[in-house]
């Protein structure tokens, strides 16, 4: 699924990387607020759903090449953090939905979690 | 090749810059993507520990023909009980570190999982040196 489809599904606002949404594909999704868990358990080409909006989320995305970020519960990072994402060409969305419902919508639409991807190779 | 990167303590906006530079260097020298991923995760966790626990320090990257080595060195408080610090879930991090999404007691275990070899040299009141070695698969 590409991030333009994710944006539609979640009725999300685009915060950065609008030009890359249609060409950026997520193979799996991770929902977490703990960056150490994200570092430990995600595969490549993963979309992260999170309620954290600090610079370490962008750093984490950079370290493990996350395909994009979705901030849940209507959260928005500061302009500094949005600028960091733009510099790195990292797509970011913000949805009003809470984490559980965001996960549910993407899972029902066919996007697996990282552990399912690991099990299926 | 040896490169050194200073890391400032308690500076959460700059935390991760050294690991980001390490990543760029590994990409430039054409290391394997999976290896880069493992090095970056371990380096970033080590760098966060310098920021959170040690009042800053230094990250050192050494590139050899068959090995990438990342060393996180500080003159912080040291680790009184290394075995305890290695346990998943054990942490002495501040609330501020936790707000940043760290400090859940995963960092040391994450480093060990990613590296081929992990060495910890620590003395209470003197500081800590964590050496992370990654075999590159080249000859």
CA atoms within 13 A on the CB side of B137: 7
A13-35 as b/e, with b when 16 or more CB fall inside 10 Å? eebbbeebbeebebebbbbbbbb
Give the pLDDT band (50/70/90) at residue B10.
very high
Contact A85/B at CB under 8 A: no
Q: Each residue of B83-95: pLDDT tens digit? A: 999 999 999 999 9
Asked if the model's pLDDT at residue A27 lies above 90, the reply is yes
CA atoms within 13 A on the CB side of B110: 30
Closest CA to B10 of B118, B112, B91, B102: B102
Delimit the domains of chain B by residue range: 2-135
Which pLDDT value is given to residue B139? 45
Hey, what CATH topology would domain A3-110 get?
3.40.1390
Q: Each residue of B107-139: pLDDT tens digit? A: 999 999 999 999 999 999 999 999 999 999 764
Q: Each residue of B53-103: pLDDT tens digit? A: 999 999 999 999 999 999 999 999 999 999 999 999 999 999 999 999 999
- Rounded CA-CA distance A5/A20 in Å is 12
B-chain residue closest to A50, CA distance? B101
Query: Are the C-beta atoms of residues A34 and B91 closer than 8 Å to each other?
Result: no
Give the pLDDT band (50/70/90) at residue B39.
very high
Q: Chain A: give the shortest CA distance to residue B102, in Å.
A: 6
Which residues are CB-contacts of B99 (< 8 A; sequence separation ≥ 6)?
A54
Determine the angle formed by the axes of helices B33-53 and B107-114, rounding to 10 degrees: 150
A-chain residue closest to B108, CA distance? A36
- Rounded CA-CA distance A58/A71 in Å is 12
What number is the ipTM of this complex?
0.90
Which pLDDT value is given to residue A115? 87
Q: Chain B: give the shortest CA distance to residue A10, in Å.
A: 24
Could you tell me which CATH number the domain at B2-135 has? 3.30.565.10
Mean pLDDT of chain B: 95
Which of B99, B101, B113 to substitute to test the interface with A, most A CBs within 10 Å? B101
Q: Note whether B20 contacts A62, CB cutoff 8 Å.
A: yes
Which residues are CB-contacts of B14 (< 8 A; sequence separation ≥ 6)?
B8
Q: How many contacts (CB atoms, under 8 Å) link A and B?
A: 70
A76-96 as b/e, with b when 16 or more CB fall inside 10 Å? ebeeebbebbeeeebbbbbbe
């Amino acid at each position: 699924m590409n991030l333009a489809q994710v944006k539609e599904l979640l009725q999300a606002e685009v915060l950065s990387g609008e030009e890359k949404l249609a060409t950026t594909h997520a193979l799996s999704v991770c929902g977490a607020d703990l960056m150490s868990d994200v570092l430990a358990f995600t595969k490549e080409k993963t979309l992260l759903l999170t309620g954290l909006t600090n610079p370490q989320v962008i750093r984490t995305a950079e370290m493990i090449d996350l395909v994009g970020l979705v901030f849940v519960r209507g959260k928005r990072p500061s302009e500094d953090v949005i600028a960091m994402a733009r510099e790195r060409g990292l797509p970011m969305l913000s949805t009003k939905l809470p984490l559980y419902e965001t996960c549910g919508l993407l899972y029902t639409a066919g996007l697996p979690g990282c552990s399912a991807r690991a099990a299926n190779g | 090749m040896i490169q050194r990167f200073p890391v400032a303590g308690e500076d959460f906006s700059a935390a991760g810059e050294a690991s980001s530079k390490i990543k760029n260097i590994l990409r430039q020298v054409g290391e394997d993507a999976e290896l880069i991923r493992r090095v970056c995760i371990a380096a970033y966790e080590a760098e966060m520990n310098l920021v959170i626990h040690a009042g800053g320090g230094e990250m050192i990257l050494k590139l050899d023909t068959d090995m990438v080595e990342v060393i996180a060195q500080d003159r912080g408080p040291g680790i009184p009980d290394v075995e305890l610090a290695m346990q998943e879930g054990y942490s002495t991090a501040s609330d501020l570190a936790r707000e940043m999404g760290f400090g859940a007691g995963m960092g040391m275990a994450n480093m060990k999982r990613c590296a081929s070899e992990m060495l910890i040299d620590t003395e209470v009141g003197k500081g800590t040196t964590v050496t992370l070695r990654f075999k590159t698969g080249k000859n």
